[in-house]
Amino acid sequence: MSGSFGDMGNLLKQAQRMQAAMKEAREELDELELVGSSGGGVVGVTVSANGDVKSVRIAEEAMKAEDRGLLEDLVLAAAQDALGQAKRTREERLAKVTGGLNLPGFQ
């Protein structure tokens, strides 16, 4: 019977270590910035690896363009590029912590 309590204690310790590692990983991801771009670098969007948009950069020549729809498409494409990078980076980093397990609450 005492063996099962020891196993439970070990599981609890492992869960606590994983929780601490997840906290550290999330903090690292908050600080890591990724830049998505479109239009050959005419538009850039910077996001944290957690997916928070930090900034948008639009080159001067794009501001002079008469086609508002094109500029909107470029901003959208750059944002999607940056957020895609962030998602891949986040999944890779968190998979290292969870050992590749898809655990609820650890995404």
106 lies in some domain: no
pLDDT digits (tens, 9 = 90+) for 18-40: 888 888 888 888 899 999 999 99
Q: What range defines the domain where residue 57 resides?
A: 2-98
8 lies in some domain: yes
pLDDT digits (tens, 9 = 90+) for 63-74: 887 888 999 999
* CATH code for the domain of 62: 3.30.1310.10
105 lies in some domain: no
104 lies in some domain: no
Helix (H) or strand (E) holding 64: none
* Number of Cα atoms under 13 Å in the Cβ half of residue 45: 23
Domain count, the chain: 1
pTM of the model: 0.75
